[in-house]
């Protein structure tokens, strides 16, 4: 019996040592073993922010630059062979009808007067063509997308009377150089006109064009 008791105590002691050793080896894991232990992967939810970029529209100044370039290369002191003058190629009868009683030299030497005349012509044509602008803008007519700037550009080339004929009867107009009214209606479409622009750019002291 004593021998059996000794064997039992030896087995218990052995299992106690093994359990203690296993506990310590788990508790005090070597740094290298800890480093090699795979980390827990956590799901990542990316945050995506949508930024709306608003592209600047073609402005009133852009419209004037484009018309001026087409008419005269944006030169204020030019007269063509038909007698049309300045940056926007005004005729004497048009200037007189708008209330400008000045000489040719006065007109050619004053960018301020020329810009003021253009302002007056745009206002005049917009008033005369209001029904057409209200009815047709935002629609296609004869394969051309109609906008206010296109209508007023066409009126600048052909006169508001010829613009009305086009929308009523489809009648085309061409100037002395063969430039069609519909080319202006299309080419100068889509500008954001601002008929108060002139008064913000030009001072009452006639400082000139910015």
Q: Residue 158 maps to which CATH number?
A: 1.10.530
Question: What is the predicted pLDDT for the residue at 195?
Answer: 83
- Indicate if 6 and 81 belong to the same structural domain: no
d(CA 69, CA 158): 17
Same domain, 87 and 25: no
As a whole number, mean pLDDT of residues 174-194 equals: 95
Same domain, 159 and 74: yes
Domain assignment of residue 178, yes or no: yes
Task: Specify the pLDDT at position 192.
Answer: 94
Between 14-28, 54-68, 147-161, the lowest mean confidence (pLDDT) is in: 14-28
Q: Decide if 50 is inside a domain.
A: no
Nearest-angstrom CA–CA distance, 123 and 129: 10
Q: Are residues 78 and 166 located together in one domain of the fold?
A: yes
Q: Report d(CA 77, CA 99) in Å as an integer.
A: 21
In a domain, 47, yes or no: no
Question: What is the pLDDT, as a whole number, of residue 197?
Answer: 76
Residues 64, 28 share a domain: no
For the cut 60, the answer to whether the pLDDT of residue 57 exceeds it is yes
Same domain assignment for residues 175 and 87: yes
Domain that holds residue 89: 60-201
44 located within any domain: no
User: Which of 2-6, 104-108, 170-174 shows the lowest per-residue confidence on average (mean pLDDT)?
Assistant: 2-6
Indicate the range of 11-15, 81-85, 198-202 predicted with least confidence: 11-15
Say if 82 falls within a structural domain.
Answer: yes
- On average, the pLDDT of the chain sits at 81
CA distances (Å), origin 135, targets 91, 101, 108, 121, 194: 29, 35, 37, 21, 20
For residues 140-155, give the mean pLDDT. Answer: 97
Is 96 in the same domain as 18?
Answer: no
In a domain, 115, yes or no: yes
User: Across residues 121-137, what is the average pLDDT?
Assistant: 97
> For residue 166, how many C-alpha atoms fall within 13 Å in the half-sphere facing its CB?
26
- pLDDT score of 32: 45
Q: Confidence band (pLDDT; 50, 70, 90) for 49?
A: low
| Count of domains for the chain | 2
* Residue 92 and residue 14 share a domain: no
Q: Is residue 51 part of a domain?
A: no
- Which residue has better confidence, 168 or 9? 168
Check pLDDT > 60 for residue 35.
no
43: in domain: no
Pair 29, 101 in one domain: no
Asked if residue 12 and residue 116 are part of one domain, the reply reads no
Confidence band for 12, pLDDT divided at 50, 70 and 90: low
Q: Considering the entire predicted model, what is its pTM?
A: 0.70
Residues 143, 191: one domain? yes
3-state secondary structure the chain: CHHHHHHHHHHHHHHHHHHHHHHHHHHCCCHHHHHHCCCCCCCCCCCCCCCCCCCCCCCHHHHHHHHHHHHHCCCCCCECCCCCECCCCECHHHHHHCCCCCCHHHHHCCHHHHHHHHHHHHHHHHHHCHHHHHHHCCCEECCEECCHHHHHHHHHHHCHHHHHHHHHHCCCCECCCCCEHHHHHHHCCCCCCCCCHHHHHCCCCCCCCC
């Amino acid at each position: 019996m004593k021998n059996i008791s000794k064997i039992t105590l030896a087995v218990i002691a052995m299992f106690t040592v093994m359990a203690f050793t296993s506990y310590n080896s788990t508790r005090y894991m070597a740094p290298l073993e800890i480093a090699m232990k795979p980390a827990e992967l956590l799901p990542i939810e990316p945050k995506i922010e949508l930024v709306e970029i608003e592209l600047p529209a073609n402005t009133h100044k852009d419209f004037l630059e484009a018309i001026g370039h087409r008419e005269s290369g944006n030169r204020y002191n030019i007269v063509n062979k038909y007698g049309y003058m300045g940056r926007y190629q005004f005729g004497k009868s048009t200037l007189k009808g708008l209330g400008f009683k000045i000489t040719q030299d006065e007109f050619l030497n004053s960018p301020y007067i020329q810009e003021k005349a253009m302002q007056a012509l745009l206002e005049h044509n917009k008033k005369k063509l209001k029904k057409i602008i209200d009815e047709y803008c935002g629609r296609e007519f004869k394969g051309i997308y109609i906008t206010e700037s296109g209508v007023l550009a066409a009126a600048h080339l052909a006169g508001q009377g010829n613009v009305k004929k086009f929308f009523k009867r489809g009648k085309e107009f061409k100037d002395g150089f063969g430039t069609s009214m519909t080319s202006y209606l299309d080419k100068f479409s889509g500008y954001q006109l601002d008929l108060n622009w002139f008064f913000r750019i030009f001072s009452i002291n006639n400082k000139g064009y910015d």
